[in-house]
Amino acid sequence: MMHGMVRRARTIISGFVHHIAHYSMDGRDVLTNTDDFKTYLDYLEKFSKKQGLSLWAYCLLPDHIRLVAVPRDAGTLAAAVRDTHAAYAGYANWRGLTSGRVWKNRFSSCVVDDMFVWSAVRLVESLPARLGLVKKAEKYPWSSAAPHCGLRQDPVLTTSFPPPGVIENWSAWLAGAESESALEKRLLLNTRTGHPFGSMVFIEDLERQTGRILRPQKRGPKPRA
């Protein structure tokens, strides 16, 4: 870290939905075949359940992962990601995928307002189709799209989401995700910066709960009184 650069503390709040992203070092592919993806999911299931992280949606890509999840308490999210990625790093080094660090030092995350939770899930699950990896999102084997389309069971996911009857045709709903491209830019920006993703009312409520200023602040010296 450069001298004088302050690293922003994560804002993780128990019981709230969070969008999480974690990238590999140098953008290299660290999930390269079926065994790699299955191994990662095994670790994710194990440590999410151990730490109390409820997974609502996920997408695994060769160079990074995306999650939508609800932590049981403030330390749950970091512990689950830390343990999962430490275990997978050991596997990746054993496999010869890399001889050094597998993941970037810190994962990125942001708290998501209820009004944007469905959009976050939709954007995460539709990502492989929007990247051109598959024609339909549910055809991608390493995301929660297929389970939510009713094509298979997935022990990684919580059974409490989604509530029944909200989305009648999950496949068609995912196919319309292109309409939310502007929203995705905001979601990724907030995930990277750690600022909550939601309305001002939502953010002000979180500020009251946490006692912290969570809105983006202007850079530079503060004006003198």
**Structural domain spans, the chain:** 18-208
For residue 103, give the nearest of 59, 149, 40 by alpha carbon. 40
Architecture of the domain whose range is 18-208: 2-Layer Sandwich (3.30)
Q: What pLDDT score does 8 carry?
A: 57
What pLDDT is attached to residue 199?
Answer: 87
Q: Which tokens hold the place of 185?
A: 């830019």
User: For position 4, what pLDDT does the model report?
Assistant: 38
Pairwise CA distance, residues 145 & 92, whole Å: 26
Which residues are within 8 A (CB) of 54 and not within 5 positions of it... i.e. 6 or more apart? 48, 69, 70, 71, 72, 158, 160, 161
Residue 141 is classified by DSSP as T
Burial 4-20 (b: 16+ CB within 10 A, else e): eeeeeebbbbeebbbbb
**Mean pLDDT in order along the chain per 10 residues (225 residues):** 47 93 92 97 98 97 97 93 96 84 90 95 96 97 97 94 91 91 91 90 83 65 52
